[in-house]
Amino acid sequence: QNRVFSGVQPTGNLHLGNYLGAVSRWVPLQDQMETIFCVVDLHAITAGFPESGVLRDATREVTAAYIAAGIDAKKSIIFNQSQVREHAELAWIFNCVARMGWLNRMTQFKEKAGKNRENASAGLFAYPNLMAADILAYRATHVPVGDDQKQHLELTRDIAAKFNNDFGASIKDLGLGVPNPTPSPEVPEQVYFPLTEPMIAGPATRIMSLRDGTKKMSKSDPSDLSRINLRDDAEAIAKKIKKAKTDADALPSETDGLKERPEADNLVGIYAALSGKSKQDILDDFGGQQFSAFKPALSDLAVEKLSPMTGEMRRLMDDPVEIDKVLKDGAERASAIAEPILKDVRAIVGFLDVR
């Protein structure tokens, strides 16, 4: 059975990259597979504890963004991670499955810890193990994310494969194995965890900063001009696109001409993703034109596509009780899936069950 899991951290400044690279791509999946969307608040404390109340507000804001973007709380499960204990429990077991060498290779840790690595939290280092637990606590088969999460998803597959191999005999003896749904030489025929498939595709897998086409658009960039926030109004969106860094040349007529032009490539990619077309389609319309003509068209499109969503987000945020109800219902439905999986995992690992 195919099952989708994905999430966003409630770390504030939800932006166009989060929307185009992740949330907007989840919407059509709801009609194709079972879908679980999490607000990953346990991840949000790995870079430091926010001040009181901030995390709660940000958790509701991400939930509102999910709903406003078209995630239907009846079709999908929407919940916040800390409400389902199984995430933390499985993450601990995965801390003991993953190897230090694997985690040492994670580029996101290196980027986020920066030079002062000794002072980074152990949670930031073990972040990918918690992400593997998020996914595998539901034995999810598909994870739609932006390109920056590719390495973490490879680690999730490594953890699943090692668990399946190390506990192969136990899985078989307890009769808990299922035929390997993603056949590969790395894993036995009977496995407990699937090797999750990353879903990273389309023109918006990595939206770049509006101030520097070589840097990812990010919540934590100190420059607000670097990103379009989902909370921005039409005026702010227009201002940021107008000020977006570009080179001085006209747009090319073929995508090959975008290769050495990261800022142009980024703006064309944003236009393509917002309009549901390919980059070549956009260049067919705008090739040969200057940014002075392209930018206003991009602004109009961004405002047209984002305004209904941001309006709906604001409306939802005015009624936190309604949002909390969605999260409560989601947490109950998520627990109903994760609890029996963790019961199996405890038995496979060999913990004594006396209750």
Contacts to ligand AQP by CB under 6 A: 8-9, 11, 17-18, 21-22, 145-146, 148-149, 204-207, 216-220
Shortest separation between residue 31's beta carbon and ligand AQP, angstroms: 20
The answer to whether 112 is a known catalytic residue is: yes
Cβ-based nearer residue to ligand AQP, 219 or 231: 219
DSSP string, 96-131: TTS-HHHHHT-HHHHHHHTT-GGGS-HHHHTHHHHH
**Could you give the angle at the alpha carbon of 109 between the alpha carbons of 240 and 164, nearest 5°?**
120
75, 110, 112, 325: the catalytic one is: 112
Cβ-based nearer residue to ligand AQP, 11 or 141: 11
The answer to whether 219 is a known catalytic residue is: yes
Cβ-based nearer residue to ligand AQP, 48 or 183: 48
Shortest separation between residue 112's beta carbon and ligand AQP, angstroms: 7
d(CA 262, CA 191): 43
Cβ-based nearer residue to ligand AQP, 267 or 342: 267
Cβ-based nearer residue to ligand AQP, 77 or 342: 77
Structure tokens at 251: 């747009």
CB–CB of 156/135 below 8 Å?
A: yes
DSSP string, 302-338: HHHHHHHHHHHHHHHHT-HHHHHHHHHHHHHHHHHHH
74, 172, 215, 216: the catalytic one is: 216
d(CA 272, CA 283): 9
Cβ-based nearer residue to ligand AQP, 191 or 221: 221
Residue, CB closest to ligand AQP? 21
d(CA 300, CA 271): 10
Shortest separation between residue 212's beta carbon and ligand AQP, angstroms: 12
d(CA 87, CA 69): 25
Helix (H/G/I), strand (E/B), else coil: 224? helix
d(CA 69, CA 223): 25
Shortest separation between residue 145's beta carbon and ligand AQP, angstroms: 3
115, 172, 215, 219: the catalytic one is: 219
Q: Which residue has the tokens 């390495």?
A: 151
Q: Give 100's contacts (C-beta < 8 A, 6+ positions apart).
A: none
The answer to whether 172 is a known catalytic residue is: no
Shortest separation between residue 207's beta carbon and ligand AQP, angstroms: 4
Shortest separation between residue 177's beta carbon and ligand AQP, angstroms: 30
d(CA 255, CA 237): 25
List residues with catalytic annotation. Answer: 112, 216, 219
